[in-house]
Structure 1
């Protein structure tokens, strides 16, 4: 195991020095543009046409070799780099850089046939067979030996190749092996627990093992949370949570081993791997992973529907936080439809370019698609690409080429290297909280921490504000307002940070499901939210699940036209200094004995203030709470930064700013379903997509009507 495996995950990790890929001639300063290139799927005579089309579209970098292990090593210890060398040479002659993959994402069949013991195991004991991606267990010493041999050969082969400017280590770790219940995993998990807890008694206490006679006598008795019969849901929640932490760490340790092998041989080439951050998943603890890469990279695929752009911005905000404000790489997104959802919607007119520019506005200095040429066979044949089945005489390729020109123009203006200007509002996210809410022993199993973050993000946009999404373990003290969206787990150290923050003048929003348990899923005693009671000035004695109308329940009225959902916290005690902003009312409140009791309160603490929400809200209801119940100065107040950082009054408009030595770059996006008229912009115009000069008065040079899916970019 590498040295990262021995690191105590409860202690802060140092970040690796930030390194960004430089152009083959050693210069840097542009926005990288390209995508995954899989020439091994095509006859060699197609390669020259590919490179010519790439040049026409403005492609500057491609990723090679992600799934090429079987071509590179057709049998054990036999190597064939001739075809890959010819591709790299073609690209290099055209001035197109290569982000070279370690090719370890999927092993060749000869390895699986010789060593079936590398295959992962599911919770019910089922073996995961080869035939898809990542059919390997990260804790297998056998697989690690083969993978690191491949990394060594790859590193030696391309160590002096100037066309290769970066390493793409692995690919989407955890896509098919996020958890593994093999004997290798059991042995590694027992070692992980030994290092984390030190003594078996500390582990027994952390896991609450006196419940149901689960006390362990030594670390060799530590189990995996395997399938345990029809009531599998009642496996120890603390064990499950630690197992998810371990699985993320085990994959991270495997990545670090690959990274270190490649870095030893090619110290001048930065290394990364592609995260998978979107609001519909939380595969790994990317906050921890972000410390282990030279630059952050992410794969993002759009969510079809009216929240398309909002979801993109919310996900990217967290990616930008993981990147510590440094430019990051959009490693994959799609030109149009994907092929792995039940319903695979196509992108609508303008969304291909709008989405790419939204990623750039949120801090991406590299825009890449999966993939360059649409596959003619295999599991992703109907996944869209830069060159679709129809070929270059298609609308998609034309849009790709248009985008390449736009990114070249932005690069020439000096945009690359600038940073996204922050909001004044932070929404805190934590992978542990997300994983803990997958446990079916909670008061309401429908609640989802990541979705609550997204609900807050959208509601703030609709109310006229933009927030940043920041990891709980990150740096959020500089924000004027911090929101805890169902941050169900809070340890004492994080609670003390919040206490210091508010005492010093910060404003905190605590919602109904925050601060309920500690980081071992032990419930805080004395009334919810236990570790935050002094901040909220209120303690609750019971969580009353509201359910849905189908379940014989329903919402509860908080104020005229504003309804709460999920559950309500029944107050036990309220300090005299608490001011009630809204109370429960209506027939449902009488049914559950909550009529007239506080629903939304505010409490002064030190120099700051704490808003407390005693129930959950839909996005629409939360907009009303923000606009009608929150104090008018809560988001603006003394700092006066509420609308300044990202919003211009009309909630259909998103205004983002990147700034640096070359100036401030303003991105104006229409997030609505109707045109936005008379948008006043600042500086010289660089990009106008689906927008026209406004003719309704004023100076036509700096006012625009922005159509649906439209964007205007200016430099001030």
Structure 2
């Protein structure tokens, strides 16, 4: 990864959100800034969707309003996260250049009226956008209020995949650079199948809608190309800014369950600081745990350094089938979950709730109900709490477990013509993550091929696409004494989506000591029993052991008699394999067994009826360590920890209450975490 050009610094944990003053009469601006000060806001993103306001006609720039807003914020001591304004083109631009508009895979045009109505490969769009970026950077590049540059907004949220002729030409250029020869491309895509062989680059198109399943190698490369094309666009904006400003540059990622089109492992090194947007997705079975996973993945993209939560919501969003409001206290818990997992900023979309437009029912820091509302009071409370956490900024999360995550595996595993549509890549990732999270064990999320030397346990869920050298790093780490869990549908194809022949699990086969001969997926609602009495869902496999021991086997179902869980001694370490999706409680039991074998424990002991509904994470700084405990239940729990509690100010937390150590009768200090509450303890000594 490239080294950041500049480092984002802030005094403590930043607090704020998007502000869209162009939606409001100037008479409202001063009131907004006064209320921001009341709430403790100290970082505000502006000019995110300001293109039409700043450049109402081609080449005519007007900055009077933006000047005024920046001066108001600066006078109030509020730092600016300045957007380039390029997220959505103005109407005059698409009228003059209709070729900018993106084309869907079915060949139909996507028109203005929403946002991001532009093709990432459009030269006309890039020319106009970079002209705007230059004008904004020349105007504000050295302004003392500007603390961060915000390139575009949620790049690829809606327009990541464009199938127009401009995209086709750019795709062919990308393929030439990747393969050098048409013969190499034919070999990589397996075009001998279905008479798809190409004899000239001009014959190649994006994977547009077809009458049957499309070439999976072509589809995989189109995902790679599309991610790279948007990243190249980000680089172009960043280069203009860096010519004119020394302020750090970033853009807001969308590390979330419903956004898959950008390979952020390729993007992260281009950011001066990693920033992410996250919204609870109630279409998932467990949105709270997905929030924690997304936060850990954001930290992984930052290589363990603190990162910025650029957007989340105070309450409901506007884009799900049912947009649930957050319960009292939930916004605080969600926000501090991100902080616990490495965020050094807590920001929202948006500051003041819009009265018009597609997002008028999206929650905001200042709701439609105004300041005489519980939501506003919660925002003010959150700001006050974050001001007590300044010393936490800059500290790093402690984790002994690595989870290997791959966007390429996501693309390949969830493609057309797969063994089962009842289970996808993220289902496996979220299931194993939830099992360890319920045991209060923190995971770092790492890329395939990452250094694993600092970890005691490595988890590899559904790593469908894996290069030989990436698998070798995991295998060698096991042989050096590590404990790893590899789950089904891993090691199936190489980087060209070509099956690793000789039995599934491919380059993991020897380390795992198993030979998977045939997939035996299950019907969506069916279950299979294991010899131990455990239950498997979604998937099973017909396989045999070569050198592994059988820990558990299928008692019934299409793979009856085949191993379900195995363990193989590989060098000095142990390689486990799981060939079904266990029920949550049984997955936790397996996770506990693996953690015990690897010598991994939770940051602190938790006791109480609701201990499984509590998140416990440790952040460690140069001078102190901090234990975050977030209680999502309606029951109090106790932590075996002592020190100063930062939210309540209790500087003797844990000293006045006696608990009991499970090893005997030694009394230990405990801290109570009330129902729905968060406690953050500066420990007496780092451990």
Q: TM-score, with normalisation over the residues of structure 1?
A: 0.90
Q: Which residue of 1 aligns with 2:536?
A: 564
CA distance in 2, matches of 1:297, 1:648: 34
Q: Select the residue among 270, 292, 298 that pairs with 1:292.
A: 270
- Paired residues of 1:646 and 1:656 also in contact (CA < 8 A): no
Q: Could you report, residue by residue, the CA deviation over 1:256-288 in whole angstroms, capped at 9, with x for unpaired residues?
A: 00010011111x100000000123332311111
Task: Spell out the pairing of 1:411-560 with structure 2 (5 A cutoff).
Answer: 411=390, 414-422=391-399, 424-463=400-439, 465-549=441-525, 554-560=526-532
Q: Select the residue among 535, 549, 552 that pairs with 1:579.
A: 549
Q: Could you report, residue by residue, the CA deviation over 1:171-230 in whole angstroms, capped at 9, with x for unpaired residues?
A: 00011101000111000000100101111111111100111111111222222100112x
CA distance in 2, matches of 1:154, 1:357: 34
Q: Could you report, residue by residue, the CA deviation over 1:315-361 in whole angstroms, capped at 9, with x for unpaired residues?
A: 11010010111111100000011111001111111111111111111
CA distance in 1, matches of 2:294, 2:320: 19
- Which stretches in structure 2 are left out of the alignment for 5+ residues? 660-666
Q: Which moved more, 1:291-300 or 1:494-503?
A: 494-503
- Paired residues of 2:643 and 2:654 also in contact (CA < 8 A): no
Q: Which moved more, 1:467-476 or 1:365-374?
A: 467-476
- Paired residues of 1:121 and 1:128 also in contact (CA < 8 A): yes
CA distance in 2, matches of 1:104, 1:209: 39
Q: Which residue of 2 aligns with 1:214?
A: 196
- Paired residues of 2:440 and 2:616 also in contact (CA < 8 A): no
Q: Select the residue among 14, 17, 23 that pairs with 2:4.
A: 17
Query: How many residues end up aligned between the 2 structures?
Result: 672
Q: CA deviation at 1:646?
A: 8.9
Q: CA deviation at 1:19?
A: 3.5
Is residue 622 of structure 2 the alignment partner of residue 640 of structure 1? no
Which secondary structure does the structure 2 equivalent of 1:469 belong to?
strand
Q: Which residue of 2 aligns with 1:710?
A: 677
Is residue 578 of structure 2 the alignment partner of residue 613 of structure 1? yes
CA distance in 2, matches of 1:377, 1:435: 36
Q: Select the residue among 227, 230, 241 that pairs with 2:220.
A: 241
Q: Could you report, residue by residue, the CA deviation over 1:294-323 in whole angstroms, capped at 9, with x for unpaired residues?
A: 000000012348834322111110100101
CA distance in 2, matches of 1:696, 1:348: 32
Which secondary structure does the structure 1 equivalent of 2:680 belong to?
strand
Which secondary structure does the structure 2 equivalent of 1:713 belong to?
strand
Q: Select the residue among 232, 235, 238 that pairs with 1:253.
A: 232
Q: Which residue of 1 aligns with 2:295?
A: 316
Which secondary structure does the structure 2 equivalent of 1:166 belong to?
strand
Q: Could you report, residue by residue, the CA deviation over 1:538-561 in whole angstroms, capped at 9, with x for unpaired residues?
A: 112111122135xxxx22111344
CA distance in 1, matches of 2:303, 2:606: 22
Which secondary structure does the structure 2 equivalent of 1:78 belong to?
coil
- Paired residues of 2:157 and 2:259 also in contact (CA < 8 A): no
CA distance in 2, matches of 1:678, 1:160: 50
Distance 1:60 1:697, change over 3 A: closer
Aligned Cα root-mean-square deviation (Å): 2.3
- Paired residues of 1:279 and 1:454 also in contact (CA < 8 A): no
- Paired residues of 1:686 and 1:713 also in contact (CA < 8 A): yes
Distance 1:605 1:417, change over 3 A: same
Distance 1:427 1:566, change over 3 A: same
Q: CA deviation at 1:695?
A: 12
Is residue 260 of structure 2 the alignment partner of residue 282 of structure 1? yes
CA distance in 2, matches of 1:285, 1:579: 37
Q: CA deviation at 1:642?
A: 2.5
CA distance in 2, matches of 1:301, 1:676: 27
- Paired residues of 1:540 and 1:569 also in contact (CA < 8 A): yes
Which secondary structure does the structure 2 equivalent of 1:708 belong to?
coil
Task: Spell out the pairing of 1:140-179 with structure 2 (5 A cutoff).
Answer: 140-179=122-161
Q: CA deviation at 1:609?
A: 0.8
- Paired residues of 1:678 and 1:696 also in contact (CA < 8 A): no
Distance 1:548 1:661, change over 3 A: closer
Is residue 175 of structure 2 the alignment partner of residue 193 of structure 1? yes
Distance 1:354 1:18, change over 3 A: farther
Q: CA deviation at 1:17?
A: 2.3
- Which stretches in structure 1 are left out of the alignment for 5+ residues? 1-13, 23-27
Which secondary structure does the structure 2 equivalent of 1:386 belong to?
coil
CA distance in 1, matches of 2:553, 2:521: 17
Q: Could you report, residue by residue, the CA deviation over 1:13-42 in whole angstroms, capped at 9, with x for unpaired residues?
A: x222274434xxxxx432111100001101
- Paired residues of 1:466 and 1:645 also in contact (CA < 8 A): no
Q: Which residue of 1 aligns with 2:244?
A: 265
Distance 1:394 1:222, change over 3 A: same
Task: Spell out the pairing of 1:654-693 with structure 2 (5 A cutoff).
Answer: 654-671=615-632, 673-688=633-648
Q: CA deviation at 1:426?
A: 1.6
Q: Could you report, residue by residue, the CA deviation over 1:84-111 in whole angstroms, capped at 9, with x for unpaired residues?
A: 1011111111111111000000011000
CA distance in 2, matches of 1:93, 1:626: 53
Q: CA deviation at 1:647?
A: 6.9
CA distance in 2, matches of 1:496, 1:715: 40
CA distance in 1, matches of 2:107, 2:640: 61
CA distance in 2, matches of 1:19, 1:647: 40
Distance 1:75 1:654, change over 3 A: same
